[in-house]
Structure 1
Amino acid sequence: MKVSVGLGSAALLAYIATIPAANLAVTHLGAVPVGFGYVAPAGVYMVGLALVLRDLSREAAGRFAVLAAIAVGIVLSYLLADPDLAMASAVAFAVAELADFGVYEPLRRRGLMIAILASNAIGLLVDSLLFLNLAFGSLEYLPGQILGKAWMTLAAVAALALLRRRRTTA
C-alpha cells in the first residue's frame, strides 16, 4: 500500500501529537479499563495508535523524519506533562521505536500489514516493559498495557485494510 504525501504528513503530525497526549492522559486520567477486567495507564491507547502512525509515517516520510518526530514528541511531552513521567516515557518510547524499526524494516518487503503487525507486537512489549518499570517501578499494569495497545494496533490495521480495499475497488 502506497501512502500518499497528504496521508503521510497527517500521520507524521498525529504521531508527534500522540507522544505528549499519552503522557498528559496518564498524568490527568490515571488508569483506564482496557477490557477483560484489566486496566492500564490512560496513555495506553495513544501509544498503541502511535505504533501504527510511526509505520505510516515511515512509509511516507522516511526514517529520518520519524526519528526527528520522536525527538519533537519527546520535547513536547517534557514541556507539557509531568517531567518524571515524560522522561520514563521518552526512554521507553525511543527504545521501543528502535526495536519496532528493527522488525519493521526487514519485514516491509513482505507487505505493509505484516510489517506493522509484527513490529507493533515487539514495540508494544518493549514500550510496556520499560515504561512501567521506569514510571511506576512495577509491572502490575503489564497485561492491560499489552491488551490496550493491541486493541489500537488491530483497529488501525483494520482501518488500513478497509482503506486498501476501498482504493482497489475504486
Structure 2
Amino acid sequence: MIGLALVLRDLVQRTLGVKWAAGAVLVGAGLSAFFAPPALVVASATAFLLSEMADLAVYTPLQKKGLVLAVFASSVVGLVIDSAVFLYLAFGSLDYISGQIVGKAWMVLAALPIIHLIRRREIKSMRSVSA
C-alpha cells in the first residue's frame, strides 16, 4: 500500500498544496501506529514518515518539469527509504529489501497511467479555459 500512498500524497500536494500534503503525511504516520502490530509500530510509523517526507522533497521541485516524472521519481525515492527504514528498524536486517521494493514499485507503476490521464485532462481543461 505504501506505493499507492506515495502517489496519493503527490496528488494531494498538486490539488491542495504543500501544507495539506505535509499534514497528510503526519496523519498517515499517526494512523500507521494504530494499524501496525505493537512490535512494529515504531518501525512502521518512522518508515512512513521518512519516506513520505522524502517523496515530498523530491516531488515538489520536479512537478514543474512533468507530473508523471515527478510522481515516478518521488515515489521511487520514497519506496526505497520506506523499505530500508522499515526492515532495519523492525528486523535489524535488509535481507528482504528487493522484494519490498519490487512490490511497492508495482503499485507505483500501476498508478502512472492514471496520473498521465489526470495530467492530460488538466491540459485539456486549461486549453478550453484560455480559448
TM-score (norm 2): 0.83
Aligned to 2:10: 55
Where in structure 2 are the equivalents of 1:2-151 lying within 5 Å? 46-151=1-106
Report the CA distance shift for 1:70/1:84 in structure 2 as closer, same or farther (over 3 A).
farther
Report the CA distance shift for 1:165/1:109 in structure 2 as closer, same or farther (over 3 A).
closer
After superposition, the C-alpha distances for 1:3-34 in whole angstroms (9 at most, x for unaligned) are xxxxxxxxxxxxxxxxxxxxxxxxxxxxxxxx
Gaps of 5+ in 2: 125-131
Report the CA distance shift for 1:52/1:82 in structure 2 as closer, same or farther (over 3 A).
same
User: Where is the strand percentage greater, Structure 1 or Structure 2?
Assistant: 1
Query: Does the CA contact (< 8 Å) of 2:28 and 2:48 recur in 1?
Result: no
Query: Does the CA contact (< 8 Å) of 1:48 and 1:124 recur in 2?
Result: yes
Please give the alpha-carbon distance, in whole angstroms, between the structure 2 residues aligned to 1:62 and 1:121.
21
Query: Does the CA contact (< 8 Å) of 2:29 and 2:46 recur in 1?
Result: no
TM-score (norm 1): 0.66
Gaps of 5+ in 1: 1-45
Please provide the CA RMSD for this pair: 2.1
Query: Does the CA contact (< 8 Å) of 1:74 and 1:86 recur in 2?
Result: no
After superposition, the C-alpha distances for 1:25-51 in whole angstroms (9 at most, x for unaligned) are xxxxxxxxxxxxxxxxxxxxx001011
Instruction: Give the AA of the match of 2:90.
Output: A
- Residue aligned with 2:93, SS: coil
Report the CA distance shift for 1:68/1:165 in structure 2 as closer, same or farther (over 3 A).
closer
- 1:156 is aligned, of 107, 111, 127, to 111
Q: What percent of counterpart residues are identical?
A: 52
Instruction: Give the AA of the match of 2:60.
Output: E
Instruction: Give the AA of the match of 1:107.
Output: L
